[in-house]
Chains A and B, each alone.
Chain A
Amino acid sequence: MQRMPAWADAFLVPLISLVIAFLISGIVVRAIGQDPVEAMRIMVQGGFGSAYAWGYTLYYATNFLFTGLAVSVAFHASQFNIGGEGQATLGGLGVALVLLYIPWPHWTIALVAAMIGAAAFGAFWAAIPAWLQARRGSHIVITTIMFNFIAGGLLNYLLVNWMKPAGSMDPSTARFGEAVRLPTFYDLPLVGQYFTKSTPANITFFIALLACFLVWLLLWRTRLGYEIRAFGKSEKAAIYAGISPFRIIMLAMLISGALAGLMAINGTMGGQKRLILNAVEGAGFIGIAVALMGRNHPFGVLLAAILFGFLYQGGAELSLAMNIPSQLVTVIQALVILFTGALDNMVRAPLERAFAAGRRGGAPQGQGGP
């Protein structure tokens, strides 16, 4: 028996959570002596109010789209991949190796090659925990989180000892060539007129949209997706149906890792144009919140990714424009994650009761136990 209409589950619950999160954020802003209404105005203006704002919001959203999709795909196979951070880090390494050591004639070919590099390195980094889970039963949450640290350490070592240009003090690679620079929104026809040259949002955003569609296609239109979802719902039933748990865990995690790795196309290839330390900047973890809020559906992930892109960009503007420390902006972001993700049930349970009460008013229904 459906307890709540689907639309309420998909939209109303996150919306109410969001409103509560912003109300509490308002109280926090008030508590440090600033005007919450003004703060909200600056955030919205800074995140959505101009082409410049959109240019940044969508740039961040692209990162979160990839990591959010990564978490979603694994989640459908009941694998909680919290290693998006490490997989995206390795993805960056893949991009850098492809772009630094091969002279690409044109950005299009370079993009394809860099995508293969990013996806392969990300998938590889997810494959080891996946294998350990599928064959040895090591819990994937533990192993993926450990692999985040290993990835960070590995990149640090490689940058400092091998990949940094001679004489440089900065633990980062040399800039990629001008030939492999990805077109930003400014370079694109039609939309280009609205954006300035400094807009970081680039063509990767459209690749992310395509990935969104392909993930939807994978999950609900392919046999593999069918098997992933069946396995995720019931491992016992999947075994009855002849679905190999090993195969599903491996494939779901490989796809998940590849998606996380692809994030580096946006950041490393499109944004920084060189491989820097900590290029991922927590986007791997934000991906968990994005997937949670998006109900692990690609369309929901898209909306949630744009929301978090807005929080990042609007928050940055906020700390610039008002006397609000950047740590407090992090608090606001954390409140949104807390309410839309962790405290989801706090909103859902009363809402379900409200809907149930509404239904009882209409027609009496035989309700079973909880």
Chain B
Amino acid sequence: MALTGLAGRHSDAAPADVPPAIELRGISKAFGPVQANRNISIRVGKGTIHGIIGENGAGKSTLMSILYGFYRADAGEILINGRPTSIPNSQAAIRAGIGMVFQHFKLVHNFSVVENVILGAEDGALLRPSVDRARRLLAELARDYELDVDPDALIEDLSVGHQQRVEILKALYRHADILILDEPTGVLTPDEADHLFRILANLRDQGKTIILITHKLREIMEITENVSVMRRGEMVATVRTAETSPEQLAELMVGRKVLLHVPKGPASPGRTVLEIEDLRVRDDDGVERLKGISLQIRAGEILGIAGVAGNGQSELLEVLGGIARGTGSVKLNGVPLDLAGRNADGRSRRRAGIAHVPEDRQNLGLIMDFTAWENMAFGYQDDPAYQKNRWLMDNEALRKDAMGKIERFDVRPADCWLPAKSFSGGNQQKIVVAREIERNPDLLLVGQPTRGVDIGAIEFIHRRIVALRDAGKAVLLVSVELDEIMSLADRIAVMFDGRIMGERLPDQTDERELGLLMAGVEATAGKAA
């Protein structure tokens, strides 16, 4: 591993005589076969802001949930202010002085601010004294920390930024000395985020300890004293923020792996297959996730989308695959696609010649309770080849077709009657890839093709994707694995915060430069480094 050099820079912020506000020793947590946290140790100094950074699924939220009493660790120890503390539930966490501000707020929308603040922490049977006390306290907090919110406003009338302040107030009202904020800026405008950081700095200066979970490097650099990097359930490094750089953090987050060699000749791109102009997508909360994407893919070319997870790649796949709706213009072979109307669905996309290997194969790509042969036709169930007559499906044909794909893609066990959930991750992915690639689409959308897939299957899937390219098809590849992008793509576009930060050719760039783009650092002229 390239990380050993960093171990020496492991640092403690607090002086030796003051015990750290939080110390975790050897925390491990598994969910079934998935190891969410592996032997994690961390010390958070009193009166500091400590960043925890890592990609989605790196295990940050699990770790914080353990600290807040939602999960119990399989192994390991929690020390609060130097004392070993057991945190079996969130009440215990609150008693230990820990407050949590969740990514998705836990507020009662038709209650007022003050009612939300005292909810669950009322003094007695009568509400009045609690409300009065809370009102006084809110006024004090507003003065001290710039935490001003109208105590009588209803939550549903408040902006997201103000709602978040209510969450912070709730924690402070419960005497929290340690505040955990989970992706606090995800829903905020830049101005609101700046205000939040001023609040956090004030809290720190008054001696509160703050843990900030995020995957945004800018925030870490701006406000934290120390930063810990998590990757795949492990704590890979803890460094002083002043002694690190965004590119180093990006590299640590994404990690390096043994470079897989994909045998592939030079691309011979032909006509333009996919043409995207100013594509925008909003999520259910109205937050813009794609902020005007423009790109093109030509026949016989693999375009790789690199980026830290959660920067709009999923939305890009979903809008092209007919799952999400958007605005802008997308043309396939010169024909505009319907982005928000009646034909903005998966059926129309498949008919137009787009196949989609989704990022989330277990929730999107497969019906886990369906048999392998049922899954091999999923999305193509109206194919005439699968119909016996006007009314009935030809299940025999489905099974024959499935057995062929199972053989050609070496799905194991080679039993088309097993439900999808009985296959390993790699073989589940082969089922999806076989189904989509064998359609011979003009455009293949592939999301995280090798996530949770074993080495052998990775190579196989990569070969198939390259073979499709060589057959003159266009491929849009989204992956958070940089080497996968580097070795598979003919052209790389880097996404950050819903935008394309830049395009590079794989043989004219390196992981450092891509890491900077992924961190949202605007490219300087050429390869200045």
Q: Residues of A at under 8 Å CB distance from B?
A: 1, 217, 221-223, 226-227, 229-230, 233-234, 236-237, 239-244, 368-369
Contact = CB atoms under 8 A, between A and B. Distances in A.
B436 to A, nearest CB: 11
A217 B364 CA distance: 26
A222 B378 contact: no
Nearest to B421: A1
A217 B392 contact: yes
Interface string B38-75: 00000000000000000000000000000000000000
Nearest to B387: A223
Q: Considering residues A221, A230, A234, A241, which has the most beta carbons from chain B within 10 angstroms of its beta carbon?
A: A241
Interface string B287-325: 000000000000000000000000000000000011100
Contacts of B345: 239, 242, 244
B348 interface: yes
Given A222-B392, A233-B369, A241 B346 contact: yes
Contacts of B365: 237, 240
Given A221-B392, A226-B381, A230-B378, A242 B348 contact: yes
Contacts of A241: 346-347, 378-379, 381
A217 B388 CA distance: 13
B346 A226 contact: no
B363 A236 contact: yes
Contacts of A221: 392-393, 395
Contacts of B368: 233-234
Contact of B367 (A217, A233, A239, A244): A233
Given A1-B422, A217-B392, A234 B350 contact: no
Chain A CB within 10 A, most for which of B363, B381, B386? B381
Interface string B267-298: 00000000000000000000000000000000
A233 B345 CA distance: 19
17 contacts: A221-B395, A223-B387, A229-B370, A230-B367, A234-B363, A234-B367, A236-B364, A240-B321, A240-B346, A240-B356, A240-B364, A240-B365, A242-B345, A242-B347, A242-B350, A368-B32, A369-B32
Contacts of B381: 223, 226-227, 241
A242 B30 CA distance: 35
A226 B374 contact: yes
A273 B149 CA distance: 70
B366 A239 contact: no
Interface residues of B, number: 35
A240 B321 CA distance: 7
B364 A237 contact: yes
Contact of B322 (A226, A236, A242): A242
A232 to B, nearest CB: 9
Contacts of B374: 226
Q: Which of A223, A242, A244 has the most CB of B within 10 A?
A: A242
A124 B387 CA distance: 30
Nearest to A217: B392
Contacts of B378: 230, 237, 241
Given A1-B422, A221-B395, A233 B346 contact: no
Given A222-B391, A226-B393, A239 B369 contact: no
A233 B371 CA distance: 13
B48 to A, nearest CB: 36
B323 A240 contact: yes
B121 to A, nearest CB: 32
B358 interface: yes
Contacts of B322: 242
Contacts of A242: 322, 345-350, 379
Nearest to A366: B33
